[in-house]
A and B are shown apart, each in its own frame.
Chain A
Amino acid sequence: MDVEILSRIQFAFTIAFHYIYPPLSIGIGLLMVVFESLYIRTKKKEYEVLAKFWTKIFAITFGIGVVTGIVMEFEFGTNWATYSRYVGDIFGSALAAEGIFAFALESSALGILLFGWNRVKPWVHLVATWAVFLGSMFSAVWIVVANSWQQTPAGYHIVGEGMQARAEIVDFWAMVLNPSSVDRISHVWLGAFLAGAFLILSVHAYYIIKGRFVVMSKKAFKITLMVAAVSSLAQLFTGHNSAEGVAVNQPAKLAAMEGLFEAEAPADLYLFGWVDKENQTVTGLKLSGGLSFMLHQDFQTPVTGLNAFPEEDRPSQVNAVFQFYHLMVAIGMFLIALSLFGLLQWKQGKLFDNKWLLWVFVFTAILPQLANQFGWFAAEMGRQPWVVYGLLRTSDALSKSVQANQVLFSLILFFIVYTVLLLLFIYLMNKAIKKGPTSDIDFDEGSLNKEIANVISK
């Protein structure tokens, strides 16, 4: 295998692994803020216990997120030196801004969040929790800005030629607010909320099934279910905006997402299917004219197909892009249905009566994770063969001085270390969840008694 394919595998592997953790941190962070705010407002013990419990889980995800994130920053230099030189002005600035304005905030405040419960006043601690959460949100902004610029470059000009060619910033705000930034940031944020919310739903559903921490878990479940329902519905909206943007800015990617080869009017929208690249056909269940309607609100407007682009300028893995995109959408739809069904059951007062529904929630924790991964795979594979769309090819972006055996060596090392890391992560999460928010199993009754005592003493 050559340096290019090895470097691509390594980057894909390390970024996919990294992306398990930051969305969890953002999503859990949101609910940590909610639980702790409720505690400060109501002074109810169970919110404090919930906030502390999820802070513990957060610490595990955050820690792995940070160390695997440093890998990403360094890999641009080690494996993609030509890319680094080409985009340093722009991508580097976004990365530096991330460090200065976001990462510094979250990492410093983390010390207070984890170890400061007894050292600072409750409201100061709440400020620290907010700081960690907002820091992780800002981190996402800068990272997605940097990636969005690769998808839809704006606010730059090219200086120099050949090996020395480089993109430089002309208009900073045009670069930051490039055509795909806003849609993609909101899409990534909501994806992160969903990852965190469905993990929390999963854990508390499990407790309810097992009859542990039931009162507390029911409260946590209801609060989180609202977050999940709002996020999954909003995700439909941001996803739609993103797709419209892709149709305008990266038509080859959109064509790959739907397996569209010839420009067609009306163009079809597939619910699922299989792309045969040789014969340029898709077999599957389709909504006739759906794609034209979705993009243009009109069945007669044609949508550009892959054949409008020269073979060397369009993504080659059409079926993979198609499948990843459709799986992401399918999961998104399922999450909407599940959370709305949950709300309906709640309204009818039987949310916790159906054990099977709770079991569905237990296993759904994995789905937003998969949707996040699939979405990124569709976005990145759909951009190929470009690393910066229309400007720099992935094959030209490599480190010229690095040899295949070096990359093979590092790839094997990463593979081993990350496998160990994943196993440890699962083991420790499982252990923390089994142990639960507090060692006092009768906590629920205890807290009820306390509340009664409070009422009486008043």
Chain B
Amino acid sequence: METLFGLDYPTWWFLVVGGLFSGYAILDGFDFGAGAWHMFFKKDSSREVALKAIDPTWHGNEVWLVIGGGTLFAGFPVFYGTLFSAMYTPFILFLLFIIFRGISIKFRNMEDMPWWRKMWDWSYSISSIMLAFLLGVVLGNILNGMPLDENFEYIGGGFFEFLNPFSILVGVTSLALFMMHGAIYLLLKTEGKLYNRVQVFLKVGMAFFIISYIITTAYGLFKLDHLLIVFKENQILFVIPLLVFLSIANVPRLASKEKYGWAFIFTSLTIALLLVIVAFELYPRLLWSNDIQENSITIYNAAASTKTLKLMMGFAAVGGPLVLLYSYFVYRTFWGKVNSNSEGY
């Protein structure tokens, strides 16, 4: 198989897609987190300022989902078809909440009636919570594995199979992670009373995350043997969970010193490292076949042609820096704290 700097193309593409979804989780993650806290702000004016913290940038963050989806479709079409059809219900719900999240932000300030604003505030907050949860649920199901046939077609049940103890635990953990991450983002963007209130949120968020993370990890260790194979074979890899631990431990330490810029970097790093663990647990598989091992989807049997992967590596090499450049420019333009006079919808 052809290689580039010693790695074959499906592996490169695995890294690209993984990188994009990590980027999405870090960026839209704080939007979801901020949204999850939204209804804990009691006053309408506070909620308006909290929304302004994400107004100019959430659109750009959502781009990562669109690009991530496109590259997954193009790079691993077999996996794309199987995962999305197997996870039909959660993905449809995800779409509906993506719609409501977006329009809630846009429509909230278009009317002055208190009930109108409150309705969209609730819609925004519930959507954010559900999006964070559903992303985790899908990830939990990927880690859990599914029954697949020899054509890599899902052969489990329909409506509610996506809800199982492990996937729910991963869903709750990702919600907790994003709430911690989002609270730190809000601290970077707010001041005054709002800031003090979010400091309390952050303490709760950190505790919520650490508890749910420990429970989920313990459940995974006891129930999902296949996830540990790679770590047992290469014990050096245990360094990654250790890094995750250090990274998480840094967050409360930095928060207590009000160094939220650094704390934000460490929650982002935590998200990235957790996904690195996921990548190692899966690689070279994308989806475990639970009953018959040979039917597992791997990056090799799911990949597009080498020609296409090469071509799209070119797209990524040209487009990636461009996307980063746009993002940098937008974030720089809207850098700093927001208040009731800031631009918003």
Residues on A close to B: CB < 8 A? 59-60, 63-64, 66-71, 73-74, 76-93, 95-101, 103-105, 107-112, 114-120, 159, 163-164, 166, 168-170, 172, 399-403, 405-406, 409-410, 413-414, 417, 421, 424, 428, 431
Contact = CB atoms under 8 A, between A and B. Distances in A.
B153 to A, nearest CB: 5
> How big is the B interface, by class?
35 or more
B78 A85 contact: yes
Given A71-B99, A413-B96, A104 B85 contact: no
B84 interface: yes
Given A77-B85, A100-B320, 14 more contacts: A74-B91, A85-B81, A88-B78, A88-B81, A92-B74, A100-B315, A109-B326, A110-B59, A110-B60, A111-B330, A115-B56, A166-B77, A401-B82, A406-B89
Contacts of A118: 343
Contact of A77 (B67, B83, B305, B333): B83
A431 B112 CA distance: 13
Going nearest first, the 7 A-B pairs with the smallest beta carbon separation are A88-B77, A77-B84, A92-B74, A81-B81, A100-B319, A399-B85, A108-B326
B140 to A, nearest CB: 18
A92 B158 CA distance: 26
A74 B95 contact: yes
B79 to A, nearest CB: 9
Nearest to B159: A406
30 contacts: A59-B345, A64-B103, A67-B98, A67-B103, A70-B98, A73-B70, A78-B91, A92-B80, A95-B73, A95-B74, A96-B71, A99-B69, A100-B319, A100-B323, A101-B319, A104-B60, A104-B322, A107-B62, A110-B59, A110-B60, A111-B334, A119-B333, A159-B305, A168-B304, A400-B151, A401-B82, A401-B88, A401-B156, A406-B158, A409-B89
Which of B63, B73, B153, B322: most chain A CB closer than 10 A?
B73
A164 B106 contact: no
Contacts of A87: 77
A60 B91 contact: no
Given A77-B80, A88-B78, A406-B88, A107 B63 contact: yes
B307 interface: yes
Given A59-B106, A67-B103, A77-B91, A82 B81 contact: yes
Contacts of A68: 99
A108 B63 contact: yes
B256 interface: no
Which of A88, A93, A112: most chain B CB closer than 10 A?
A88
B70 A169 contact: no
B219 interface: no
Contacts of B245: none
Given A71-B95, A115-B55, A168-B308, A63 B71 contact: no
A89 B74 contact: yes
A107 B28 CA distance: 14
Contact of A63 (B67, B75, B102): B102
Interface of B: 55-57, 59-60, 62-63, 65-67, 69-71, 73-78, 80-89, 91-92, 94-96, 98-100, 102-103, 106-107, 110, 151, 153-156, 158-159, 304-305, 307-308, 311-312, 315-316, 319-320, 322-323, 326-327, 329-330, 333-334, 343-345
| Interface of chain A: mostly helix, strand, loop or mixed | helix
A92 B75 contact: yes
Contacts of B57: 111
Contacts of B85: 77-79, 81, 399-402
A105 B319 CA distance: 10
A170 B78 CA distance: 19
Contacts of A91: 73
A119 B329 CA distance: 12
Contact of A96 (B74, B107, B305, B345): B74
A71 B57 CA distance: 21
B151 A89 contact: no
B153 A400 contact: yes
Contacts of A81: 80-82, 84-85, 153
A159 to B, nearest CB: 8
A64 B102 CA distance: 8
A101 B49 CA distance: 32
Contact of B326 (A105, A119, A414, A428): A105
A73 B66 contact: yes
Which of B66, B102, B107, B155: most chain A CB closer than 10 A?
B66
B308 A93 contact: yes
Contacts of B98: 67, 70
Nearest to B100: A417
B157 to A, nearest CB: 9
A108 B77 contact: no
A59 B159 CA distance: 36
B70 A104 contact: no
Given A77-B84, A111-B333, A92 B91 contact: no
A434 to B, nearest CB: 13
A84 B84 CA distance: 10
Contact of B307 (A77, A92, A168): A168
B308 A89 contact: yes
Contacts of B95: 70-71, 74
Nearest to A100: B319
B73 A402 contact: no
Nearest to B65: A70
Nearest to A400: B153
A399 B81 contact: yes
A81 B326 CA distance: 33
Contacts of A119: 333-334, 343
Contacts of A116: 56, 333, 343
A98 B159 CA distance: 32
A96 B88 contact: no
A163 B151 CA distance: 7
Nearest to B335: A119
Which of A93, A101, A112, A172: most chain B CB closer than 10 A?
A93
A67 B76 CA distance: 24
B107 A424 contact: yes
B92 A67 contact: no
A97 B326 contact: no
